[in-house]
Amino acid sequence: MPIKKTILKNGLRILTVPIKNAKSVTVLILVGTGSKYETKDINGMSHFLEHMFFKGTKKRPNTLKISETLDMIGGQYNAFTSKEVTGFWAKVDKKHTDVALDWIADMFLNSKFEAEEIEKEKGVVIEELNMYLDMPSSYVSELFEDLLYKDQPAGWRIVGEKEHITAFNRQKMLDYYQTHYSTQNTVVCVAGDVTSKQIEGKIHAYFAKTKNTVLPQKLATKELQSKPEVLIHHKKTDQTHFCLGVRAYDMFASQKYALSLLAIILGGNMSSRLFISVRERNSLAYYIHTSVDATTDTGYLVTQAGIKNESLEKAVSLILKEYQDLKHKKITPRELKKAKDYLRGSMSLSLDSSDAQASFFATQEVMEGKTMTPEEKLKMIDKVSVSDIKKVAEDIFKNEKLNLSVIGPIEESEKIKLEQLLKL
């Protein structure tokens, strides 16, 4: 059955994603705001506010009452913040759909944001930040974006910095909530064995009085780079972690389909070029993978690995060699077919649940203003040719687009040597 989109008079968009015979129902609220919409003094506010939605409403006055509502029926729930989207979701047995709707609407619309709870939560969020800083495999990705975008919203941490987090107060939080949360940038998505007739009236009853306010525009991201760049974070680790990648395309670029296939060929699975080269033939890494990140105004391709501390230069050289080969030589038709078949299969598996379906459609609606079905996306993938892959490789694999972030026992004095290594 096709998904249905309904727009209430106040501008709120409702997506119904019918999944015949599904045992679960997921209710997802997505808001088009995140760290890219912040100013420096409130960097981290989107993420902090996400935490505060779980602190109590008039109906459910504290965290215990919020959480036990769904715990008592075996439901799953959480929230997340990214650069451009903040989301809240609940997944329940379909017989508890009304409970999930009431729970998420109450939390989203009626949270108290009490000053005392804000002060307490600062400690929690700072410990979350400390946790990420202690995880090199996670932190090195943040350093890569820091290297790409520097001191602008796209380069700031989603969780924020300690000095900003400690300065948050209730008024700043309310100001952000009132200016960045509107029906204009909000989508409510329900996925499962439901119909629009069953749930639209209920969502309307909760959200009909929500205001459609004018939203602030996020600053456009500036991408300025004329030569390869390196960022080293010295840390005593048993393994060196690094991200090596290039600037690429935003989510609206037609080349994104060829780029996704190119990433699979490079490092998308255990038979990819880099997995075989870096791990199997040279035994330098346990994990290595290549992925693509694309938002409304930024995009990049990146290869990440954790390697022996003394093998950084060798690993980087092996990756650059594969980048060069893609730039100068066409892939084989067999490689292209394998990548397409892998993408088709992995997409099918990844959408095998109500929460995945909700995320798939709602994210498109919030960020692009429209939705494509998996079949429509796969048709675009099928159109990609061997020549398309080579054109993308020629376009992105250039010296002036190369960036390398590193965490490990690497001295800053090695930066020049690494910069000189970054050549294609």
Catalytic residues: 50
DSSP 149: H
The strand pair at 402-408 and 240-247 is best described as antiparallel
Contacts of 233 (CB under 8 A, 6+ apart): 139, 140, 143, 405, 406, 407
Q: Are 263 and 245 in contact (CB under 8 A)?
A: no
Q: How far apart are CA 101 and CA 103, in angstroms?
A: 6
Strand boundaries in 106-239, DSSP class E: 186-192, 229-234
Supply φ then ψ for residue 92, to 5 degrees: -140, 165
**Pair of tokens at residue 367:** 């960020």
**Count of CB atoms within 10 A of residue 311's CB?**
18
Q: How far apart are CA 330 and CA 328, in angstroms?
A: 7
Contacts of 349 (CB under 8 A, 6+ apart): none
**Pair of tokens at residue 382:** 């099928």
What is the radius of gyration, based on Cα positions, of the chain?
23
The candidate with the shortest Cα–Cα distance to 326, out of 385, 257, 273, is: 273
Going 290 to 412 to 227 to 328, the CA torsion angle's sign is negative
Q: What is the DSSP string of 214-270?
A: PPPPPPPPP---SS-EEEEEE---SSEEEEEEEE---TT-TTHHHHHHHHHHHHSST
Any bridge partners for residue 243, and if so which?
Answer: 304, 405
Q: Are 301 and 249 in contact (CB under 8 A)?
A: no
Q: Are 258 and 249 in contact (CB under 8 A)?
A: no
Q: How far apart are CA 245 and CA 269, in angstroms?
A: 17
**Pair of tokens at residue 12:** 């709120």
- Residue 13 is inside which H or E element, if any? strand 13-18
